[in-house]
Structure 1
Amino acid sequence: MASKISGLLDKFKFSKQTCFLMLAAFVFSVVCRLYWVYWAGEYQHFFWNDQLMISTNDGYAFAEGARDMIAGFHQPNDLSYYGRSMPTLTYFLYQILPFSFETILLYMSVFFSSLIVIPVILIGKEYEMPGVGFAAALLASIANSYYNRTMAGYYDTDMLTIVLPAFSVWAMIRLAQKKNVNDLIFIPIFILINDWWYPSSYSLNFAMLGAFLLYTLIFDRKNALNYEAVILMIVALTYIDFYAKSALVVALYLAMRFRPQIWDKRAVAACLALAVALLGYSGGLNQILFQLKFYIFRGVSESSEPVFHFYNVNKTIMEMSDYSFEFESINAFAKRISGHIVTFALSLVGVAALCLKFRSFLLALPMLLLGFLALKGGLRFTIYSVPVMAIGFGYFAALCVSFFKKDKILDKFCTVCLAAFFVFFFLYFDKYYSLLHGKSPVFAPNFDGEAGFGVYLATFAAAALICGAAYFMVSGISSLKKHALLEKICVFCIAALSLMPCLEHIYGYKVGTVFAKSEVESLDKLHKIAGREDYVLAWWDYGYPIRYYADVKTLIDGGKHLGRDNFAVSFALASNQRMSANMARLEVEYTERNFSERFGLNLNQMMKDYNATSVNSFLYSLNSKDFQPPQKTREIYYYLPDSMIDIFSAVLRFSNLDLNSGEEYGAIFYPGKPYSVDGDTINIGGGFSVSGDASKVYIGEREISVNTYFETSYDEKDKLVVKKHEMNADGKIYLIFMKDYRRFLVLDEAVLNSAYIQLFVLENYDKELFEPVVLNGAVKIYRLLR
């Protein structure tokens, strides 16, 4: 057996060319991602503990889990990701590498996401087209959506979420192409690793199983190896203990590899039936149904109980917004996948041609189609199509090169390229010479600015020069060598043409860190005051970072934010201070009780305990001075950041509705900035204008009188000063000008009286209910006194 295993390993020795291509593509991907580090390093407010902070909210969930694993413990019911895949990997790296914890968080995505080049190049190698794999690897590694979600500082599972399924696709293609029993193990191994790393990949893994089975039944039904592979894939997908199914997969593979004589048709059929039965018994289909419901069948409201209609969170998450079929939406969709709509179109042609040439490439369609699900499920899915479309583009480039192998066509092409260069050179010279002398270009002044083609045209001009000049420079050598050299030059130029829009995107995609240094300093102060069992009430966007920096508990976060979860926090932020305080205490104490009592929805249990039959009446009762909240068992802190102003409209929607019907009440809240002055009115964007004396607000053509105008500013001691001006007692609109932020707030009375506006914007807190802990322009933190 040892000799057989040794022979198996010998089959996977890569050539020097393959290793070089992998290394070159990997280095290219890493270097591109380091640009953000170079740019962000110039801004000190992005630093904490002498290192750049991360740029994704969800990353703090994994960072918290890794931190707790390093400490060796975490608090019960603190929602820590202790022991999960990414914290485990981070913990392991921290133990073996000489770098700080923050440095590991910053750079993990740079190196792990760049591994995408390996399966892409391997797929090209399986089709004996290493050049295709290399060109595809370069494009896949920096395509817009893939870069956005794997850039430096993007500490998230996305760094391997595409890499692992890409390896699964390679393993399936290899088995279909080679038909070698040695390759059976790779498919289930990558499925197992993918399932451990990112459990939500289950639906994709299941789709790959379906695609492989369908491919087998249509094109390769007599190949017994494929049915054995299906058995291993099904076992890998069962919902049983990870180590148990891993051991079962290995045992089955060893039996298939070293005891092939026992695997006749009856044995395979019986084992397949048992695997399917185990999959069904373990609940393997439940996860797929949940994913379909969450991402595809999205209703207006989400009902956890027949009488309660909560707001659906999917309608407020940008990543889950549908694309329309207008040009701008399709253009944005194409750019996220391929960098440019031209590259996208050519990639589609390449994918279709590759599927016709090699049927086994059909096995990559589940990833491609999942990416196209973005048209319905939201833009977060586009990332899955990136490697498949990149391979399609690489193959299209290969088709172009093969088309130019004839001397006459190559002659004409290179001559046209050289002529094209001189045309572009003349146009660019005209443009920049004219601009230098303060004049308008004479010829085609906007030729490089329409539809974002400028970077393409500039690159094409350079590529045309290279191709044309190279042709005439090598015209004296033999035809065979000339074609070989020109083919490489053409592939290089086509690859460069596809990469330039992506490189331009990288240069322009300058996102900041999740928190600024001042915000983290505020949380660090809270960390020194609050205990690990205390709660911080904040919107779910801030849940993970708060838990990481302050080491406290939160009610909602990036993984717990369904409508039923968000309702209480939204209610506490959007209601007046008394109702807010009562709801905050109720939700925290009932959440803690629920960990042990398991009574389901907190609101249901509250109504039972308070003998309430109407949910609306119960909520109104929270405004009564006689309302008795539960006994206090821990402290509650309100975290109110300035950045929440921009999402406060979304926050309001989760509680500003009738829970019996789901009908939204509607609220007026608009944050705007003075964009321009038109006569005696100030345009603040969004169709809103303000009169010069702040007595009226214009919404389109509609004029509304202002009831009260507030102006806030900070004095030399950083104390907030609020000036209040009564304007019109009959006015229905209130206006706040936050002078230091250059921001106007247009709002109705209910929003004006909300806890967030009163505590953060005006610092008008009820001293019987709240006590300030941190007050600054970026963040305000209050302690609840009851």
Structure 2
Amino acid sequence: MKSKISFSLIFCIFIAFVFSFVVRLIWVYQFNDLESFQFAGQFMINTNDGYYWAEGARDLLSGISQKYDLSPINSAPAWLTYVAVKLLPFSFESIIFYMPAILGSLIVIPLILISHNLKMIEVGFLAALLASIAVSYYNRTMVGYYDTDMLTIVFPTFLLWSLILAFRTQEEKYLLITALEIIAYRWWYPQSYSLEFAFFGLILLYTLLFQRKNLFYYQLLSIMLFAMMGLDTLIRLLIVIGVYGVFRQEKWQKYTYLFLGVATVLFFLSGGFEPIWVQLERYVFKEAIEASEGKLSLHFFSVMQTVREAGQISFTVFAERISGHTLTFVFSLVGYALLLKRYPVMFLALPLLGLGCLALWGGLRFTIYAVPVCALGISYFIFTCNGWILSSFRNERLGNFVKSAFVILSSLAILYPNLLHVMNYRVPTVFNQAEVAQLDALKSQLQREDYVVSWWDYGYPLRYYSDVKTLIDGGKHSGEVNFPVSFMLSNPMDAAARLARLEVEYTEKASALAEENKTKPKKERTKNLSNTAKMTLDYGFKDANDFLDALQTPLVLPQKTRDVYFYLPYRMMSIFPTVAQFSNIDVMSGKTVREPFFYQTQQFSDQGATLMFGNGIVLDKAKGMLKLGQKELAVKYFIQTSYTPEMQFSKAQNLLHVNGAVSIIYMQAYNTFLIVDEAMLNSLYVQLFVLENYDERFFEPISLEAYAKVYKLKI
């Protein structure tokens, strides 16, 4: 009987895993013949953050890293990829592309193991099928989504499994398994503190209420705290193994409370609670303005206000992301309540469910945590209803038929919306083939110590494909570092050029200071002001706005230590108003100082005498007047850009009104109209990318392609 049960367990896990992986191959089938999604015959990944981990793995494989670079060579994803490339007969590009589908599909294992322990393996099997393809979980574990999300939910679901078995069996081995899972989870995802602490807090509450005299629970709490300390992975691993060895000896049982006390003290002394508070501040208590304090207090716009995954979402979106459909989600909560009533130990799933519910005000990224719990809930609800159906039929044969039909139809009903989402979710790769070819070609012209200035969305891919340094990226994009890059892109060329040289040289100095601080005691460390604050003070200004104005005049710049390039892609155009927003601020007061006008549209119609741009914007061709709602503005320039058959750039410019407030640019090759005010017309991005008007004193063109244009800073 035991072997039969083991076979059914393995069979269910195998089928669920294969189902999850095969569903993820739908994307591959859909785009298999689309060459723009491939480079050098390999599919490219489809998440910007993936290039961060890919950079780390690439540098591990090459054995080369540069001073003060941001390559994550010590990260778990990079090391796991490194090992996979060394052991498997597949290319690096194939491994990082398919790894999310393989690792993400592992979610089926703990779900089936949990249900098997509760003697309802069929519930776990259906839950595994649903959880593996649920909307939010699929989105973050599909092929090409090479990010920490590959295992970010798998680890805590395994942790839930070991805690359930620890409670149900009170076997000592689950003390070690639980601690090892916490250590592995932290190794993989350093931001796991909050969830680990939530599990700990829930168990502590349960122990104090119901198990105050049971030493096993105090041992569990102790070993969890040791595993959660803010120390290096290896140190925590050795401590946990040692503590487990002590707990196995009966003579040490009387010292359990002492171990718990020591663990608590070490947890707080090692900074165990500090990261939890940082995460809460980042996603829950976020503010629109960030302040950099020191000798000069400056204010910057917060990136969290513009990140969709950190914004509030509707209940419908919330429910669909977790379960695929609102009704499925509602019934999953009912099912979880029924499951909790029958198996009270399932209260341990509350941290996952609670963190998932945080998405209602904390943002989309949290929905993924509730997926496994809700999958178990709806699955249990279906099989509970199935039992009620069977008991209501006197004819056993008819009852079995209806029962089977109900399970099959209900299972298909909850899986269908998620499968439909998979088929319709045709997310593109981060860059297309032409863009990557341009970046790859730049690698031979640029040095590894050179900087490429662009918006943070493109930081990781730039570093990966061109092997250069960047000022901002997907992880380094606080208000104080975004401000200067935004200023460069949205201000005139002379000011942008001078700030670019300053920002790069000051960034290198700041990196050196940060490295020096690591070797000093905390009290002796030099406070690191923002670069903007340092520049202001170094140039003798007390007001940062005065320093920024001075950038339009000749300044004595620091000695050049490396080259600087600007990467200006067409794809930045759609987010350029947001990019400009980060520097449209009085850094001394935190107030918005201007509202630049930048309107882009591909939805226009020529009515003969007028041009209709949508949203109530109409151009009177004869008068050269632009109607904006109730306002009428004179048009200064009408500019048309295009490419010849030989891909040579050309433009024609007509002056309509000398004192016009706005200008209109028709980018014929892109079938796009731009309507901009004077400030946006003179911005570096519009001048260099849209119009190719570069000041030879400051810039020289390096690569002028339709998708992106690269210029070298000459000062």
Please report the TM-score for the alignment, with normalisation by the length of structure 2. 0.95
1:143 partnered with 2:134: yes
- Counterpart selection for 1:609 from 513, 538, 547: 538
Q: Encode CA deviations 1:353-372: one digit per residue, 9 max, x unaligned.
A: 22222221111111111111
1:449-488 → structure 2 map (5 Å cutoff): 479-480=395-396, 483-484=399-400, 486-488=402-404
Offset, 1:634: 0.6
Q: Encode CA deviations 1:290-343: one digit per residue, 9 max, x unaligned.
A: 1111111111200022621100100111111112xxxxx221111111111111
Q: Encode CA deviations 1:527-565: one digit per residue, 9 max, x unaligned.
A: 010001100001111000000000111111111000001
Q: Encode CA deviations 1:394-434: one digit per residue, 9 max, x unaligned.
A: 111112101102344x8xxxxxxxxxxxxxxxxxxxxxxxx
- Once the two structures are overlaid, the 10-residue window that deviates more, 479-488 or 43-52, is 479-488
- CA distance, structure 2, for counterparts of residue 354 and residue 681 of structure 1: 65
Q: Answer yes or no: is the 8 Å Cα contact 1:577–1:755 preserved in 2.
A: yes
- CA distance, structure 1, for counterparts of residue 211 and residue 408 of structure 2: 37
- CA distance, structure 1, for counterparts of residue 635 and residue 3 of structure 2: 75
Q: How many residue pairs get matched?
A: 699
- CA distance, structure 2, for counterparts of residue 483 and residue 86 of structure 1: 50
- CA distance, structure 2, for counterparts of residue 650 and residue 676 of structure 1: 26
1:272 partnered with 2:257: no
Offset, 1:681: 4.4
**AA partner of residue 123 (structure 1):** I
1:397-408 → structure 2 map (5 Å cutoff): 397-408=382-393
1:580 partnered with 2:496: yes
**AA partner of residue 517 (structure 1):** Q
Q: Answer yes or no: is the 8 Å Cα contact 2:451–2:563 preserved in 1.
A: yes
RMSD of aligned alpha carbons? 1.9
- Once the two structures are overlaid, the 10-residue window that deviates more, 194-203 or 248-257, is 248-257
- CA distance, structure 2, for counterparts of residue 36 and residue 539 of structure 1: 28
Offset, 1:227: 1.3
- Distance of aligned partners of 1:689 and 1:369 in 2 relative to their CA distance in 1, 3 Å threshold: farther
Q: Answer yes or no: is the 8 Å Cα contact 1:534–1:635 preserved in 2.
A: yes
Partner of 1:515: 431
Offset, 1:482: 5.3
- CA distance, structure 2, for counterparts of residue 726 and residue 497 of structure 1: 62
Offset, 1:680: 5.0
- Distance of aligned partners of 1:573 and 1:221 in 2 relative to their CA distance in 1, 3 Å threshold: same
- Counterpart selection for 1:165 from 137, 156, 166: 156
**Runs (5+) with no aligned partner, structure 1:** 1-10, 324-328, 411-478
Q: Answer yes or no: is the 8 Å Cα contact 1:711–1:724 preserved in 2.
A: yes
Q: Answer yes or no: is the 8 Å Cα contact 2:506–2:531 preserved in 1.
A: yes
- CA distance, structure 2, for counterparts of residue 516 and residue 229 of structure 1: 50
Partner of 1:311: 301
Q: Answer yes or no: is the 8 Å Cα contact 1:113–1:163 preserved in 2.
A: yes
Partner of 1:365: 350
**AA partner of residue 326 (structure 2):** I
Partner of 2:510: 594
- Counterpart selection for 1:204 from 189, 195, 205: 195
**AA partner of residue 129 (structure 2):** L
- Counterpart selection for 1:653 from 569, 581, 588: 581
Partner of 1:290: 278
User: In percent, how many aligned pairs have the same letter?
Assistant: 44
1:27 partnered with 2:18: yes
- CA distance, structure 2, for counterparts of residue 731 and residue 527 of structure 1: 43
**AA partner of residue 221 (structure 2):** V
Q: Encode CA deviations 1:739-772: one digit per residue, 9 max, x unaligned.
A: 1111111211111101010000000000111110
- CA distance, structure 1, for counterparts of residue 479 and residue 465 of structure 2: 26
Q: Answer yes or no: is the 8 Å Cα contact 2:599–2:675 preserved in 1.
A: yes
Partner of 2:484: 568
**AA partner of residue 483 (structure 2):** F
- CA distance, structure 1, for counterparts of residue 600 and residue 126 of structure 2: 46
1:297-376 → structure 2 map (5 Å cutoff): 297-305=285-293, 307-323=297-313, 329-376=314-361
**AA partner of residue 263 (structure 1):** Q
**AA partner of residue 562 (structure 2):** R
Give SS of 1:716's match: coil
Q: Encode CA deviations 1:52-94: one digit per residue, 9 max, x unaligned.
A: 0000000001000000000112001111011210000000000
Q: Answer yes or no: is the 8 Å Cα contact 1:570–1:652 preserved in 2.
A: yes
Q: Encode CA deviations 1:143-187: one digit per residue, 9 max, x unaligned.
A: 111111110000101000000011111111111222222322221
- Counterpart selection for 2:600 from 663, 671, 680: 671
Q: Answer yes or no: is the 8 Å Cα contact 2:543–2:588 preserved in 1.
A: no
- CA distance, structure 1, for counterparts of residue 689 and residue 464 of structure 2: 23
Give SS of 1:528's match: coil
1:113-192 → structure 2 map (5 Å cutoff): 113-192=104-183
Offset, 1:14: 6.4
Q: Encode CA deviations 1:499-526: one digit per residue, 9 max, x unaligned.
A: 1001110111001100111111111121
**AA partner of residue 269 (structure 1):** Y
Q: Answer yes or no: is the 8 Å Cα contact 1:694–1:706 preserved in 2.
A: no
Partner of 2:525: none
- Counterpart selection for 1:715 from 640, 644, 656: 644
- CA distance, structure 1, for counterparts of residue 31 and residue 210 of structure 2: 52
- CA distance, structure 2, for counterparts of residue 686 and residue 117 of structure 1: 48
- CA distance, structure 1, for counterparts of residue 582 and residue 561 of structure 2: 27
**AA partner of residue 672 (structure 2):** R
Give SS of 1:661's match: coil
Offset, 1:678: 6.6
**AA partner of residue 304 (structure 2):** N
The ranges of structure 1 where at least 4 consecutive aligned residues each deviate by more than 6 angstroms after the TM superposition are 11-14
**AA partner of residue 67 (structure 2):** P
Partner of 1:643: 571
- CA distance, structure 2, for counterparts of residue 616 and residue 528 of structure 1: 39
Offset, 1:12: 12
- Once the two structures are overlaid, the 10-residue window that deviates more, 750-759 or 297-306, is 297-306
Q: Answer yes or no: is the 8 Å Cα contact 1:338–1:389 preserved in 2.
A: yes
1:371-410 → structure 2 map (5 Å cutoff): 371-408=356-393
- CA distance, structure 2, for counterparts of residue 154 and residue 693 of structure 1: 52
- CA distance, structure 1, for counterparts of residue 215 and residue 618 of structure 2: 72
Give SS of 2:443's match: helix
Partner of 2:522: none
Q: Answer yes or no: is the 8 Å Cα contact 2:636–2:658 preserved in 1.
A: yes
Offset, 1:586: 0.3
Offset, 1:24: 0.8
Give SS of 2:444's match: helix
- Distance of aligned partners of 1:208 and 1:520 in 2 relative to their CA distance in 1, 3 Å threshold: same
